[in-house]
């Protein structure tokens, strides 16, 4: 199975640096819609078997151009949603942003017991994302699944699960809007094939 993890297009919350993780979330900006069309162009020839989104509006909007091009109906999987900010929801001050990402970085490094203030711990976050992968596998088998998901959870999940990247590699690379992480499932686990178009060895 190949996973193409795509961060959603730009939203007003991204512009304002707000921790927007609750449903339904902000819609795409005009630039975000343009980014969605461009990522569809990039993915249309990738042999996509299934398209999956979170329940948040921005992922569904980002998926729409690719779904229309390929004639594939996107499936919303709740496990693909962003790491829930909980007590930090919609805050944009530097201290809150640092607190949010410090928890996600701790999970990437294996400290799964740590909990987002008022929210999930790493065990819970990875369990729901892995459940979504299992649900997608029932549809695509060994094919290509495109997940339209969210920046922090994509980086954190890949950092913890991929065999050929270190947590420091993944957590130090901001995933831009509609940036992609491509992973292949191998006999010994997940391996990153490319990160924001950078091809990786191993």
Domains, the chain, in order of start with CATH, read 2-199 (3.40.50.1240)
pLDDT exceeds cutoff 80 at 202: no
pLDDT exceeds cutoff 80 at 201: no
Mean pLDDT value of segment 155-169: 95
Q: How confident is the model at residue 84 (pLDDT cuts 50, 70, 90)?
A: very high
Confirm if 150 and 132 have CB atoms less than 8 A apart: no
Report the C-alpha gap between 89 and 16 in whole angstroms.
13
pLDDT exceeds cutoff 70 at 130: yes
**Cis check: omega of the bond before 24, within 30 degrees of 0:** yes
pLDDT of residue 73: 97
pLDDT of residue 173: 87
Report the C-alpha gap between 119 and 96 in whole angstroms.
14
Mean pLDDT value of segment 95-122: 97
pLDDT exceeds cutoff 80 at 129: yes
Q: Average model confidence (pLDDT) for the chain? A: 97
Which one, of 19, 81, 74, 21, lies nearest residue 54 by Cα?
Answer: 81
The percentage of the chain sitting over the pLDDT mark of 90, rounded to a whole number, equals 95
pLDDT exceeds cutoff 90 at 59: yes
Q: How confident is the model at residue 39 (pLDDT cuts 50, 70, 90)?
A: very high
Task: Give pTM, 2 decimals.
Answer: 0.96
């Amino acid at each position: 199975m190949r996973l193409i993890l795509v961060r959603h297009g730009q939203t007003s919350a991204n512009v304002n640096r707000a921790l927007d993780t609750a449903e339904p979330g902000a819609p795409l900006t005009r630039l975000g819609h343009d980014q969605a069309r461009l990522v569809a162009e990039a993915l249309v020839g990738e042999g996509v078997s299934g398209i999956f989104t979170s329940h948040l509006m921005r992922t569904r909007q980002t998926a729409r151009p690719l779904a229309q091009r390929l004639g594939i109906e996107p499936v919303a999987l709740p496990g693909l949603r962003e790491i829930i900010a909980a007590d930090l929801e919609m805050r944009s001050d530097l201290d809150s942003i640092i607190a949010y990402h410090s928890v996600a970085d701790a999970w990437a490094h294996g400290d799964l017991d740590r909990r987002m203030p008022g929210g999930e711990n790493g065990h819970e976050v990875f369990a729901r994302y892995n459940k979504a992968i299992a649900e997608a596998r029932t549809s695509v088998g060994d094919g290509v699944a495109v997940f339209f998901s969210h920046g922090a959870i994509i980086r954190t999940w890949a950092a913890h699960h991929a065999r050929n990247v270190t947590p420091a590699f993944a957590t130090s690379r901001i995933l831009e809007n509609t940036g992609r992480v491509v992973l292949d499932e191998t006999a010994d686990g997940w391996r990153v094939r490319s990160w924001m178009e950078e091809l990786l060895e191993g």
